[in-house]
Structure 1
Amino acid sequence: MTTKSNFLDTPLKISNVKQSNWDKLYKVSDYALDYNLHLFKGIRDARLNGQQELLDFRRSIFDSVPEDYKKMLFYGIDDVTGTLECTTTARLQERLLGLLIFERHRRDIALLNALLAEGGSDKKVETIELGDPYVYEIKSVLFKGFQGREESDDNEGDKEKNKTGGKFMKFAMIQNLEFDYEHELADEEADEEDSEEIRCDDDLLEQFLTDDIVSFNDSLKKLKIEGKSDDDIMKYIVEECRIGKVFIPMAGGTIFSGED
């Protein structure tokens, strides 16, 4: 998964995305949106809090793989300062998180205004574009519910295992390994028909807006009309829905293949 040369280094702005893509994102259910926000934010937090662990892990991979394989991997470690360069895969995931936070912020304000109107207030909160979406505190009850369940799972599990993010840290580790060709930025002259190339925020959002995401609510409504039980519906969400859009680099996916 590759990107346009300066695309990831530019500030996130709502105006950078076509209105048609925002319109499509508006139709995504709160469940699918908040689930991915929960997932992406958890991975980002695990990455930021676990830099030393990620650095040690990447070094250990380079020390253990065959020389020919090692030559294909992105190293990205400054051995003098001991700093770790973020993979393009992780940067893309973080960029997508920022775009989704813009949409969640819009929905939070819309809900607040609806509550004010319901209470008979003439006041209306205007939506101001977030300067830094990553510091925004999401107000969604559904999102907070996902966060609460995660904390509950951590409390019941191994404290040592969960201290740097549990399953989120595993995703961060997978995204910490990519081939050189995955890390390199796409040539602006590359074939524009290649759907795997991401050159801008529109391309990134379009990769997120798959049929699984957009039609999620319709699928649930169909199951309810068919009289499916809550257990059957939850089983469908867990086993069949593909609404978690975590980016997996080829190198990280290969290294972790076969692991639980």
Structure 2
Amino acid sequence: MMQNSVQYDFSGQVAIVTGGRAGIGKAIADKLASAGATVSIWDLEADESLPLHYRVDISNAETLQQAAARLHADAGRIDMLVNNAGYAGPTTTLWEYPADVWQKIIDINLVGVFNTCRAIVPYLLQQQSGRIVNIASLAGKEGTPNASAYSAAKAGVLALTKSLGKELATSNVLVNAIAPAAVNTTLLAQMSAEHVQTMINKSPMQRLGTVDEVAELTAWLCSSACSFSTGAVFDLSGGRATY
């Protein structure tokens, strides 16, 4: 596998990464920081002793508004938002799914993206520049069996991305989504081994994706090299995506 990594210069730019403490979010945060960005981690388990690390519940709209105002005051600007925080939940049939857990997955994975975008977009509009990257899932395109809540939430994220991208199309704020197939993170521990193996078996490359592969695509979408794509969905599936 090729190991080349494209270099970017995000010096002077401020990026928010939700769920940035571990897994895909940490890889994205590290990639943006290595390119010179000042990265603000928004996470339920964020270490607030670290600069610009905020303990945030993305399902709580009020705390997100407060965090956005706090970051803008502390950092002076906001340039990038990566909506990565997510919760997979259990794998079971729709008719056996606990209703409260189903709602929790929607609240985190879909409503959380709405809440965060709603809090941040006014600052990006004020600057007339910015990038939003929503980490969705191939489940949102295919509808993964025994993952109805997660699939429905991620499908919502794809539609939200297309809608917001069109709304902001003339503002120099670009909004795009990434739809990864299964990526090797601790999130997979929430799923059964059989469910994970099924996802691997569906991949023409016969492997899981890596967090670094997600981070590389995110960095390009956050860069000035991405200039004519908005409201778009970028597959990261090892050849699994068919549309």
Higher relative contact order (CA 8 A, sep 6+): 1
| Same fold, TM-score > 0.5, yes or no | no
Higher share in strand: 2
TM-score, L = length of structure 1: 0.24
Mark the structure with the bigger radius of gyration. 1
Higher share in helix: 1
TM-score, L = length of structure 2: 0.25
